[in-house]
Amino acid sequence: MLGLMQDWPLLVSKILDHAAINHPEQEIVTRTTEGPIQRYTYKDLHSRARQMAKRLEMAGVKLGDRIATCAWNNARHMEVWYGVMGMGAICHTVNPRLFPEQIEYIINHAEDSYVFVDLTFVPVFEAIAKDLPKVKGFVIMTDAAHMPDTKLRDVICYEDWLAEADDDYTWPTFDENTAAGLCYTSGTTGNPKGVLYSHRSNVLHALLANQADTLGLCASDVILPVVPMFHANAWAIAFGAPAAGAKLVMPGPKMDGESIYQLLHEEGVTVSAAVPTVWLMLLGYLEDQGKELPLLNYVVIGGSACPPSMIEAFETKYGVQVFHAWGMTEMSPIGTLGRLKPKHESMSLSDQIALKSKQGRAPFTVEMKIVDDEGNEQPRDGVAFGHLVVRGPAVSKSYLKGEGGEILDADGWFDTGDVATIDADGYMQITDRAKDVIKSGGEWISTIEIENIAVGHPGVAEAAVIGLPHPKWDERPLLIVVAKDGTSPSGKDILAYLEGKIAKWWMPNDVAFVDEIPHTATGKIQKMDLRAKFKDHQLPND
């Protein structure tokens, strides 16, 4: 017998309808690419997104067509986002930090018919437009007064184009499993692969994100997503904020400490989310300028491991709670978030920080477990390591056009490529990417844990650990360090600092100093490059 409840497809247009009906005056504040701060409301966004859908329809865009954006977090990006998805086309967010050849590859692979380009990225497309045969037009996301002098072919001015339609448009209804968004994983090896979100997965994921123990957004929140919309849906915030009716503050192109501080301070931001490098810049600015953050309740830190020293700085110096989160593009992206349970409130600060350094617990609809090389589940005891596998209604089941073949096992589990522990309370801790873990004498050494501790040394700005071949132990760790400006720590100093904080056999065999550590397009340490750079490095005799 089937249930007798209404057939109400989970479509993302419903999220924006909800925001416009229930929170019409709630603000969306943008630092525009042109410079000034722009303000409007969910009611305005709702109107302009429908106008966009109508304009796209006039241009011949149909259900299932792919439309690319290459843009910062701003109001126009939200209009395209909801306009495209709302009409049943697919919004393909392009990460501008990819190499031009990769951008060309993914736009051709996705067969995008229009590309919405923020002013900053016009030069990127001037260089590759001739190799994008399927693209009919490049819509520059500005008004006539700010149109650049460009030789880009088929160029369109966003505001003039949009003005050719009105907002008299009703969202169509279709199957909730229809594709809504497309985001390529940066793929450290091989070509990027397309993760194709559906309306259903996006709506369910927005509900997941808004659970009180996850992002927990509500109508009295003011949220600043520093994490870009092209980085896996701005970690659900592009859907979760309107669903909750939260005020949205969009940072546009400026992510330096001063610019972020200004928005946090002037807009009364209560919640923000970003990768650790962004927070490092903000903390540096606060320290230099002697500024405080009285209104900010909590920050969500993820994308790569958040060092305990960063949690401590936020919580003890600025009274801002830190929630460490983990996820991946294939998971929409939230997988875990590290809020404490009531029984942890009485723990000492240092124990709390240690627990908060773990990547956190799975919200409802995410299932996860750790398995050994043969696929046998490992205990949830916080000690056993294993391959982290996941499943859920907002987790990928394959990549666009079947690239990469089958990605689920017989029981529907997706291998994240991460190695982790899970404790009895459900807190998961990433110890490494499977390909980065160091295998020494048959045992595994966690590079992330050593890096996390090393950055607590006052002379270390950034640290990366890689394994180098070793005749006796197979592999041994090399610690690579960028020294903090104005300091010159010695390798010996840093090793002495690590002593007692990690197992003896985890101690790096050597320390190398570099001016800069290379990063991927989503801000992760590029360990492949480091391994290539240091492949002939001689470890001292032990």
Q: Residues with catalytic annotation?
A: 185, 330, 439, 444
DSSP character at residue 243:
H
Query: Least distance from C-beta 427 to ligand ADP, angstroms?
Result: 12
Contact 41/22 with Cβ under 8 angstroms?
no
Strands of 10-97 (E only): list them: 27-31, 37-41, 66-70, 90-93
Which of these ranges, 13-21, 263-271, 298-306, 310-318, lies near ligand ADP under the rule CB under 6 A? Answer: 298-306
The site that binds ligand ADP (CB under 6 A) totals a number of residues, namely 22
Among 253, 303, 308, 477, binds ligand ADP (CB under 6 A): 303
Does 13 bind ligand ADP (CB under 6 A)? Our answer is no
Residues 232-291 binding ligand ADP (CB under 6 A) are 232
Measure Cα distances from 107 to 21, 92, 98 in Å: 35, 9, 12
Question: Sign of the CA dihedral 167, 169, 174, 176?
Answer: positive
From the list 339, 333, 276, the residue with the least C-alpha distance to 308 is 276
154 Cβ contact list (under 8 Å, min separation 6): 135, 136, 137, 138
Pattern 304-323, ligand ADP, x by CB under 6 A: xx------------------
Does 302 bind ligand ADP (CB under 6 A)? Our answer is yes
Query: Least distance from C-beta 485 to ligand ADP, angstroms?
Result: 26
- Residue 78 tokens read as 């939200």
Among 32, 451, 520, 530, binds ligand ADP (CB under 6 A): 520
The label of the residue with tokens 């750079």 reads 533
Among 202, 214, 357, 416, binds ligand ADP (CB under 6 A): 416
Does 431 bind ligand ADP (CB under 6 A)? Our answer is no
- Residue 92 tokens read as 């393909």
Query: Least distance from C-beta 417 to ligand ADP, angstroms?
Result: 6
Residues 344-383 binding ligand ADP (CB under 6 A) are 359
Strands of 203-295 (E only): list them: 222-225, 247-250, 271-274
Residue whose CB is less far from ligand ADP, 86 or 307: 307
Which of these ranges, 110-118, 252-260, 297-305, 491-499, lies near ligand ADP under the rule CB under 6 A? Answer: 297-305
278 Cβ contact list (under 8 Å, min separation 6): 226, 255, 260
Does 433 bind ligand ADP (CB under 6 A)? Our answer is yes
Query: Least distance from C-beta 298 to ligand ADP, angstroms?
Result: 15
Query: Least distance from C-beta 296 to ligand ADP, angstroms?
Result: 20
Which of these ranges, 134-142, 238-246, 372-380, 414-422, lies near ligand ADP under the rule CB under 6 A? Answer: 414-422
208 Cβ contact list (under 8 Å, min separation 6): 214, 236, 334, 363, 364, 365, 366, 394
Alpha carbons 373 and 8: distance in angstroms, whole number: 42
Does 32 bind ligand ADP (CB under 6 A)? Our answer is no
Among 97, 524, 531, 533, binds ligand ADP (CB under 6 A): 524
Within 10 A of 471 (CB to CB), how many other CB atoms are there? 7
Residues 470-509 binding ligand ADP (CB under 6 A) are none
Does 519 bind ligand ADP (CB under 6 A)? Our answer is no
Which of these ranges, 96-104, 415-423, 457-465, 481-489, lies near ligand ADP under the rule CB under 6 A? Answer: 415-423
Contact 476/447 with Cβ under 8 angstroms?
no
From the list 86, 139, 151, 72, the residue with the least C-alpha distance to 112 is 139
Residue whose CB is less far from ligand ADP, 152 or 448: 448
Query: Least distance from C-beta 396 to ligand ADP, angstroms?
Result: 10
Query: Least distance from C-beta 303 to ligand ADP, angstroms?
Result: 5
Query: Least distance from C-beta 536 to ligand ADP, angstroms?
Result: 27
* DSSP letters spanning 315-338: IIIS--EEEEEEE-GGGSSEEEE-
From the list 408, 335, 411, 10, the residue with the least C-alpha distance to 201 is 10
- Sheet with 155-157, strands from edge to edge, namely 155-157, 137-140, 114-117, 66-70, 90-93, 179-185, 193-198
Alpha carbons 393 and 18: distance in angstroms, whole number: 22
Residues 325-344 binding ligand ADP (CB under 6 A) are 325-326, 328-329, 333
Does 97 bind ligand ADP (CB under 6 A)? Our answer is no
Residue whose CB is less far from ligand ADP, 331 or 498: 331
Does 324 bind ligand ADP (CB under 6 A)? Our answer is yes
Query: Least distance from C-beta 390 to ligand ADP, angstroms?
Result: 10
Strands of 407-497 (E only): list them: 414-422, 428-433, 438-440, 443-445, 460-470, 474-483
Which of these ranges, 152-160, 233-241, 412-420, 480-488, lies near ligand ADP under the rule CB under 6 A? Answer: 412-420
Does 396 bind ligand ADP (CB under 6 A)? Our answer is no
Measure Cα distances from 163 to 85, 87, 184 in Å: 20, 18, 31
Does 197 bind ligand ADP (CB under 6 A)? Our answer is no
Q: CA angle 233-235-241, nearest 5°?
A: 85
Query: Least distance from C-beta 448 to ligand ADP, angstroms?
Result: 6
Binding interface with ligand ADP (CB under 6 A): 185-186, 232, 302-305, 324-326, 328-329, 333, 359, 416-418, 430, 433, 520, 522, 524
